[in-house]
Structure 1
Amino acid sequence: MKIPKAIQRGDSWRICVNFQNKRHTSTHDTEKEAKEWAARKILELKDASKSSKDEIPQHTYLEAIEYYLKNVTPKKKGARWETLRFRKLIRDNPQLVSKNLLDLKSFDFVKYRDSRIKYVTATTVSREMELLSAVLYCCIRELGWLSASPMTLVARPKLPPPRNRRAYDHEIAAILEACSYKEGAPVYTKSQEVGWSVLFALETAMRMGEITSMTWDNVYIDKMYVHLPDTKNGLTRNIPLSEKAEQLLLQIKGANSPRVLSIESDSLSTLFRKYRNRCEIDDLRFHDLRHEATTRMAQIIQNPADLSKITGHTDINILVNTYYNPTPTEVALRLRKGGVK
């Protein structure tokens, strides 16, 4: 059965699946999302027509989660985070996970969503629901323990606008002082490595894990770039080096081997928060340095496609709408510099 054509209506896309003389329709923000929904729906409807409840083996949701943890989670980059999240879900929701998969209803997940949203952010709830849903689809596609997902029609919480926190010069200066880091001076301690990492992130827009995992055999100072063989989205990436980024690498060269830094991501994250709090800086995260760096780069590299090659974003819209956050004053100065009358 072919995936039907999505029809655009205004700002949304509507798609209809006809199966056994029944129509199933859905509306989405993009054509891609509409087609993905249709593909999932066709699989669900086909499986449901082939199987009856009595033909499917009886398994609990907990069994399914444990299978997923053992066979799927370890293959992911965020395996540690996902494992911790699943363990907490199991611990905090015994009634849900103890249910037989065939007895799960949409309301079980509506109840979970509405209860959880009282204590954590909508983003957190949405991520947890994605995990719960992934387990169910594993049961459908790989195990044959389900014919359809009870979460298909359960709405996710409405997400807040993208974070647009900028890092200001006085905040950076305060954190560097708290780290006992001085530009150009030798880097001996992990605290000083934190300061070094802050400046390198601002120059390269690299993620924390990418910075801490850098090795010297992937640093090409003579060719003015750093090669990242394994990034968050699974793609390789080359980071061009500004003059300051090159100076930072030369400053620390020889301090550690084979890695550029000795500090691990967890320690860097912990120490960054420690010095940020000591400086009484409100709501600044290390990842915000990536936002700041991207916004600064966009003043120079104005082609989003070129900028995405540096930051590693495969979706230009996310790059523009989430990571590029110029102030009105910065835009005004660019207009004046460009001679706009």
Structure 2
Amino acid sequence: MLAKLADELPAGAYLYEPKWDGFRAIVFRGQDDVYLQSRDSRPLDRYFPELHDALLKRLPRNCVVDGEIVIATERGLDFDALQLRLHPAASRVQKLAKETPSSFIAFDILAVGARDLMNAPQAERRAALEKLLGDVKPPVYLTPITRDRDVAVDWLTRFEGAGLDGVIAKPESGAYLPGKRAMIKIKHARTAECVVAGFRYHKSGKDAVGSLLLGLYDDSGTLQHVGVTSSFTMAMRRKLVEELAPLRKNAMDDHPWREWAGAAAESSRMPGSQSRWSAGKDLSWEPLRIERVCEVKYDHMQGNRFRHAAIFLRWRPDKQPRDCRYDQLEVTTPYELERIFSSGSSGS
């Protein structure tokens, strides 16, 4: 079951939960084994061997549980550490499992024993989940919930420092609907003014821009690649090709990222780098002279980069590229993950 994005938390008969920033997973606990599956039905067991054993030990037999795989550190949730687990070498996975062990946070139940709960109301499923996992021990957790909208609004602010992605609102009377956006998610939203240092062509061809490459200056005056913005209509994509054309002339001569042009994709800091999520996509990029500034909306930072693609808002011709610095960004206070599980965990 999926969620649709909203600008604010809905009021009414909802269960509110923290939105965890990890890998969505469904756990099938049978009589003698456990199977861990991703949202797109891919097996995850081999990437999280320590979690496989913990789930086998801590979950009751014959149940199907929906939740999130996360890696918690002293700085909060670490999505980069999760991505590193998707490695073909079992020895590497085993090493990382010891160094950065994962956890599973349960937030819904689809079946228990011989009973199919998918058509049961959300409130009934939550009660069954609490009964099943009320005394569960780490690294398996039961997500907190609240029925109090004011508490959920407070979570939206307080929990961000732990790396949480926002808040989810689930209708109390709603059934579990696979593939349907039957939940509501509210994410953090902020704006930033960024340098437009390059672009990638759209997959349709070189008559349209796919995304703009964004940069911010750090304290040493180095322009760092912080992410992309790609929320354009097709008409806008074609217009951008013409609009940006003058900025391509001699763009590489003094470009701060010139050493990355044509380089092997070894670093995630490179604008053209491949990742385990890019699935062989053409990520080559076209440099632009460092002259343009745009304002974007983003949800939160992961390290020094935007966690997700930013949303283009407008050009800022009144801003100089050198003024686009990290110090414009709001800094969130770290929050201990352990304290989250004591906040409204029984549906207060």
Using the size of structure 1 for normalisation, the TM-score is 0.29
Whichever of the two has the greater Rg, that structure is: 1
> Which protein, 1 or 2, shows the higher relative CO under an 8 Å CA cutoff with sep ≥ 6?
2
Using the size of structure 2 for normalisation, the TM-score is 0.29
By percentage of residues, which structure has more helix?
1
